[in-house]
Structure 1
Amino acid sequence: MSTEQVVFLVADLALIIVVARLFGMLARRFGQPAVIGEVLAGICLGPTLLGGLSGTLFPADVRPLLSALAQVGVALFMFTVGLDVDRKLLRGQGKIAVATSVCSILLPLALGAGAGLLLAGSHPGPDRLGFVSFVAVAMSITAFPVLARILADRGLRDTRLGGLAIACAAIGDVVAWALLGVVVFVVSGSGGDSWRLLLFVPYAAVMLLLVRPVLRRLLDRRGPGTGGYAVVLAGLLASGALTEWMGLHLIFGAFLFGAVVPHEVTWVRTELQSHLGKLNDVLLLPVFFLIAGLQVDLAVIGWDGLGELALVLAAAITGKFGGAYLGARGSGLPSPDSARLGILLNTRGLTELVVLGVGLSLGVLDGELYSVMVVMAVLTTAMAGPLLRFTRSRSPTPSAVSAA
């Protein structure tokens, strides 16, 4: 690295931290999750507002360095998502959680596939099936961490409705990442190294059956010190590197490692997750938002783009909200709580940006459609808070599920 690269890298990191923090605080002032402001900060530092100045602030030879830091941030984020997938969340939720999760995946998949077929004509690519499949999966995403933050902010996390929403999101996350893995396999399966993709299934089995019990004993012995932290960090990065080598993406390895960390080792979820979360939230994820924002140029979206945005929003909102509502109502949940559950599961946030980044890196999405999908992710996340306030104000007496 040259001295100029070091200067720009360090100065850019300082700028990213400050701007992301300011936009995050502003978002909270308007009752929105900080992630909304941080995503908008990344977009504002990109060509949408700054035009050519964006290239001056973030030179081309520095962007790969920022991208590398962003990938580490995504790996840590996906590790915490996997760490939060707890089978105990499903206890007591029964058929409501399963039915709601299934419906909130199937309907957006179907509507997303229809939207993908309509969009394929204006966004031709080498793999039409991969494109349609990717759009379908992108519609079915729920942002598990952002959902948890919204529930905490609204005082719903310890209610039965909050527990049900978390359980549905956990099931949905696992299914969505599995489906995304299939899509990546479809898109990447034509290369000479496609045989590596087949290694993921035995790798996952080894992680669950062998690595998990070994990890439990090792982490119990090491405890919440630097030795235990080193084991977890090295493990999640190595797992991410392996799945990247397989041709899937490092997010799958990081997520899988988080999922196999035994929940009996409580310090991992408390101390380590807290420390990692602070570093990631302040530094690495804002870098990811910047990299995402640099690839978004809303200025080039014309009337056709607005029409595509309307189509994407209609498919995303109708599919996720409608699927969750129908599944919950069919399982006997009262209508107000079914509506609130649909609103919560329609939250996409950062998780959607991770998925869209995968699509962009694979060449499934072009720049214009990527920008449209990022706007969809921001709007569906921003809708949750106001709609929850509206539905609660329309219901003067809390239902049994909300009050439980």
Structure 2
Amino acid sequence: MSTHQTTSLLLGLAVIVLLARLLGALARRLGQPAVIGEVLAGIALGPTVVNGALSEHLFPADTRPLLSALAAVGVAVFMFIVGLEVDATLLRGNTSLATTVSLSSILVPFGLGTLLALYLADDYGTDDKTGFMLFLGIAMSITAFPVLARILTDRHMTHTSLGAMAIACAAIGDVLAWTLLAVIVAASGSADADQWRMLLAIPYLAAMLLAVRPLLRRYAESRPHLTLTPTVFACVLAGLLLSAAATEWVGLHYIFGAFLFGAVLPRTGTDRLRTHIHDRLGQMTSTLLLPVFFLVSGLQVDLSTLDGSALGALALILLVAVGGKFLGAFTAARLHRMPPRPAAALATLMNTRGLTELIVLNVGLQLGFLGRDLYSLMVVMAVITTAMTGPLLNWILGRPTAADTATPYAPDPPAETETVRTAA
């Protein structure tokens, strides 16, 4: 690296960190998740504002590959943390309801999204028509598990049965959505890998679930007072990076390997250890690496050229994204005799997309499923659907207070769940 590159990179990183922190704090003041302000910070530094003059000055072309590399590390660590938070015990007592709501909230928007892709194909389609349709369907189906968990924590709802149900549904939905996305990536042939490597994806998954997870569980059980020593922390970091590298090498995206490694780490008796891992990784990731990812995403978003046609497409995207998620989740909840108001609150929570949606959209952009114009509109959809969650919950359930301990819905004994901590 030259002196000019190093100086530009360090100055740019400082601007990214400060602007993301400022707009994130402003978003919280307005009752929104911090991720809303951080995404807007990335867009503000991109070509949308003053035709990209600011981004060209702060982030010259020779430093952008370095920013992309930092962003990739941030996303890998974030996906590891998401996998770390997925907890099967959240389903205790309401497995049928959680599974039905998750499936319905994935399949309904997925189907509507593929139909919308047929309509948008002439203006926004790519060379891979099938990949375009399937990807748009999965992009409509995403729920941001970490942002949803943060909203529930801020509203003191994590220990209510509605809150536990929402977390369980989002966790199942995350696993289903990532699985569908992995299948789409593998089936499309867009990944840059020799065809034979794809055959290793299933054996790798089986090895992680049937061999690595039991071995890690036995190791944790043999050391009941296991703490996060520098050696343990180094092994965890190496494991998530190696798992991410493995799925990237076989032709899937690295996010799947990072998520999978977090999901296979043992849970029984390791609460303190996992909390320390989260704290160590989460602070640096949320303060530096994820804002870099928001910048890299924002550099691809150009809203300065939006015309009437694009606004019409955005309206349709919002209608399908919001309507599909709400209809799927609400209908499934009502079929399980959940009262209308808690069912509406659950469906609203499932519409939260946030950072997880941005990660999926970036995968689509990298693999050629999305063009930049449609990518920009989908980013706007992600911001709007996340921002609307809080106000809609206030309208449905009322504003939260510190004394909120009521359980809006409890047909079964409330699921026991710990407060979910997230980097987002």
TM-score between both structures, scaled by the size of structure 1: 0.96
Counterpart residue number, 1:85: 86
Q: 1:235 is aligned with what amino acid?
A: G
Preserved CA contact (<8 Å) 1:236 1:257: yes
Q: Is 1:312 aligned with 2:321? A: no
1:106 maps onto 2:111 in alignment: no
Could you say what secondary structure the match of 1:300 adopts?
A: coil
Task: State which of 245, 248, 252 in structure 1 corresponds to 2:249.
Answer: 245
Cα deviation, residue 95, structure 1: 1.6
Alignment TM-score, normalising by the size of structure 2? 0.92
Tell me which residue corresponds to 2:182.
181
| Matched-pair contact (CA < 8 Å) for 2:124–2:373 | no
- Native 8 Å contact 1:81 1:255 kept in 2: yes
Cα distance in 1 between the residues matched to 2:206 and 2:116: 35
1:224–1:191 distance in 2 versus 1, CA, 3 Å: closer
SS in 1 for 2:49: helix
Among 387, 391, 410, the alignment partner of 1:401 is 410
Segment drifting more, 86-95 vs 282-291: 86-95
Whole-angstrom distance in 2 between the partners of 1:208 and 1:267:
23
Deviates more, 1:205-214 or 1:56-65: 205-214
Structure 2 counterpart of 1:236, one-letter code: L
Determine if the alignment matches structure 1 residue 330 to structure 2 residue 344.
no
Q: 1:22-43, CA deviations, whole angstroms, 9 ceiling, x for partnerless residues?
A: 0000001100000000000000
Gaps of 5+ in 1: none
Cα distance in 2, alignment partners of residues 274 and 200 from structure 1: 31
Question: Residues of 1 paired with 2:11 and 2:208: CA distance?
Answer: 40
Q: Whole-Å Cα distance in 1 between the matches of residues 244 and 103 of structure 2?
A: 28
Q: Distance in 1 between matches of 2:324 and 2:396?
A: 19
Distance 2:78 2:88 in 1: 20
- 1:368-383 equivalences under 5 Å are 368-383=373-388
Which residue is 1:14 aligned to? Answer: 14
The SS at the match of 1:299 is coil
1:189 CA displacement? 5.7
Cα distance in 2, alignment partners of residues 112 and 124 from structure 1: 13
Q: What's the counterpart of residue 296 of structure 1?
A: 301
Question: Any residues of structure 2 matched to 1:2-401 within 5 Å, and which?
Answer: 2-51=2-51, 52-188=53-189, 193-218=194-219, 223-264=227-268, 265-393=270-398, 399-401=408-410
The alpha-carbon deviation at position 187 of structure 1 amounts to 2.2
Question: 1:188: Cα distance to partner?
Answer: 2.1
Answer yes or no: is the 8 Å Cα contact 1:292–1:353 preserved in 2: yes
- Secondary structure of 1:47 counterpart: coil
Contact 1:300 1:368 in 2 (8 A): no
Deviation at 1:241, TM superposition (A): 0.7
Offset, 1:100:
0.8
Amino acid at match of 1:71: A
- CA distance in structure 2 between the partners assigned to 1:75 and 1:102 by the alignment: 26
| Matches of 2:383 and 2:157, distance apart in 1 | 22
% identical aligned pairs: 57
Q: CA deviation at 1:201?
A: 0.8
Aligned residue identity for 2:369: V
Q: Once the 2 structures are TM-superposed, how far is the Cα of residue 186 of structure 1 from its aligned partner?
A: 2.3
| C-alpha distance 239-92 of structure 1, shift in aligned 2 (>3 A) | same
Letter of the 1:42 partner, please give it.
G
Contact 1:44 1:50 (C-alpha < 8 Å) held by counterparts = no
Shift of 1:343: 0.4
Secondary structure in 1 aligned to 2:199? Answer: helix
* Greater per-residue helix proportion: 1
Inter-CA distance 190–336: structure 2 relative to 1 (3 Å threshold): closer
- Using the TM superposition, give the Cα deviation of residue 54 of structure 1 relative to its aligned residue in structure 2, in angstroms: 1.3
Letter in 1 for 2:231: G
Q: Distance between the aligned counterparts of 1:400 and 1:317, measured in 2?
A: 23
SS at match of 1:121: helix
Partners of 2:125 and 2:370 within 8 A in 1: no
What is the identity, as a one-letter code, of the residue corresponding to 2:271? T
Shift of 1:216: 3.2
